[in-house]
Amino acid sequence: MAHTWDPELYDVHADERARPFVDLLARVRTDGPDAEVRSVVDLGCGPGELTHGLTRRFPSAQVVGVDSSPAMLATAARHSGPRLRFEQADLRDWLTSADPVDVLVSNATLHWVSEHLELLPELIAAVRPGGCLAFQVPANNTTPMHAIRRELAARPPYAEHAAAAAGPVNHEPEEYLRALTELGCAVDAWSTTYLHVLTGEDPVLTWASGTAARPTLQALPEPLRERFVDEYRARLREAYPATDLGVVMPFRRVFVGARRSAAA
C-alpha cells in the first residue's frame, strides 16, 4: 500500500523543518542576480509555505510547486497567486517532460527516491545553463529514531506487513560532490547537525510519525499499529529523554548546491 501524507501532522514541527530550507537557499548561486531568475521549481513542495517564500527570494520568477500528494497540494493551494502555482506529479514523471528552469529546489524529498543518485543527470538537465540545482536530504538513518523503527519493523508480528515499507535513503556530501562535478557543475556540498529542542508529549514520536515512520505505520493493520506505536514510543522516550531544556533531538542533514556550467 502506498503511504499518504498528513499536512497537519507534518507541520507540528514546521519551524524546525523550515531551518534547513532557509540555510539551503542562502547558498543558491546562479550566473546572474536573483532579479534575473525567471523560473523556479520546488520538487516535493509539501504544504507550500516554504515554496511561497521562494516568490520573495526570487521577485521576478514564476514559481511552481510540484508534489505527488493530493493532501499536501490541497493545503498548498492557499498560497497560490499570480506568480505561484502548484501541480501534482511524481518528480520522476516531471523530469521526463520538464523545460529547463533557472533554479530547481528540492527540500527533504529526494531521500524518498531510492535511485536519486542516478537521477542527478536528469535533475541537472532540468536546469538551464548557468542555473542552479539545490537540495537537502536528511542524513540521520543511524540515529535511534530510525534504528528503533527498523528493529521493531523487522520483528514478528510486524515484519510480514512492514518489510516492504518505504524508507529514506541518503548519500554522503562527497558522493554528491563527485557525481555533480563529473556532470560539469560547480558544486557546494556540506552537512549540518541541528540540535532541535522539542516540547510537548512524545515530540520525537510526533516528528517521526509525520515523516520517516509514516510508511511503516501505514503498512500495519490495526491493532498491530497501536501495539507498534506503544513499543516505539517507549523506546524513543529512553533514547531521547526529557531534560530541563526539553527533548533534544540531533538531526543531521546533507546540503548540495550545483551550478550548471553556462557553457553547457
Handedness of CA 30, 177, 213, 147 (dihedral sign): negative
pLDDT at 15 exceeding the cut of 90? no
Q: Are 148 and 239 in contact, with CB atoms under 8 Å apart?
A: yes
The average confidence (pLDDT) of the chain is 92
Question: Domains of the chain: which residue ranges?
Answer: 7-260
The predicted structure's pLDDT at residue 128: 96
pLDDT band at 2 (very low <50, low <70, confident <90, very high): low
Q: Are β-strands 185-198 and 247-260 bridged in parallel, bridged antiparallel, or unpaired?
A: antiparallel
How far, CA to CA in Å, does 166 sit from each of 6, 112, 114, 150, 243? 16, 8, 9, 11, 32
| The amino acid at 211 | T
Average pLDDT rounded to a whole number, residues 54-61: 95
164-203, pLDDT tens digit by residue? 787 889 999 999 999 999 999 999 999 999 999 999 999 9
pLDDT band at 14 (very low <50, low <70, confident <90, very high): low
217-243, pLDDT tens digit by residue? 999 999 899 999 999 999 999 999 999
Phi, psi for 212 (deg, rounded to 5) = -60, -35
66-112, pLDDT tens digit by residue? 999 999 999 999 999 999 999 999 999 999 988 999 999 999 999 99
The predicted structure's pLDDT at residue 10: 46
The predicted structure's pLDDT at residue 13: 54
* pLDDT above 70 as % of the chain: 94
The predicted structure's pLDDT at residue 236: 98
The predicted structure's pLDDT at residue 212: 86
The predicted structure's pLDDT at residue 25: 93
**Stated length of the chain:** 264
The predicted structure's pLDDT at residue 18: 86
pLDDT at 6 exceeding the cut of 60? no
102-154, pLDDT tens digit by residue? 999 999 999 999 999 999 999 999 999 999 999 999 999 999 999 999 999 99
* pLDDT above 90 as % of the chain: 83
Q: Are 48 and 79 in contact, with CB atoms under 8 Å apart?
A: yes
Classified as helix, coil or strand, 44 is coil
For domain 7-260, which architecture applies? 3-Layer(aba) Sandwich (3.40)
